[in-house]
Amino acid sequence: MVKIIKPSFEILTPINGNEILKLIEIAGRTCYKSNDLITEDSAKNFVEKIAKRGHESVLEHFNITVRFICNRGFTHELVRHRLASFSQESTRYCNYTKDKFGNEITVIKPAEINEGTKEYDIWVNAMENAEKSYMEMMANGSKPENARGVLPIDIKTEIVITTNIREWKHILSLRTSPAAHPSMRELMIPLAHEFQKQIPVVFDKVLEEVS
Catalytic annotation, pick one of 29, 148, 175, 185 = 175
Distance CA 182, CA 175 (A): 9
In a 13 Å sphere around the CA of 35, the CA atoms on its Cβ side amount to 7
With a CB cutoff of 8 Å and minimum separation 6, the contacts of 103 are 96, 97
Specify whether 175 is catalytic.
yes
Q: Which of 165, 179, 138 is nearest to 57 (CA)?
A: 165
Please give the backbone phi and psi of residue 102, each rounded to the nearest 5 degrees, phi first: 75, 15
Please give the backbone phi and psi of residue 83, each rounded to the nearest 5 degrees, phi first: -90, 50
Do residues 19 and 61 touch, judged by C-beta distance below 8 A?
no
Residues forming the active site: 175
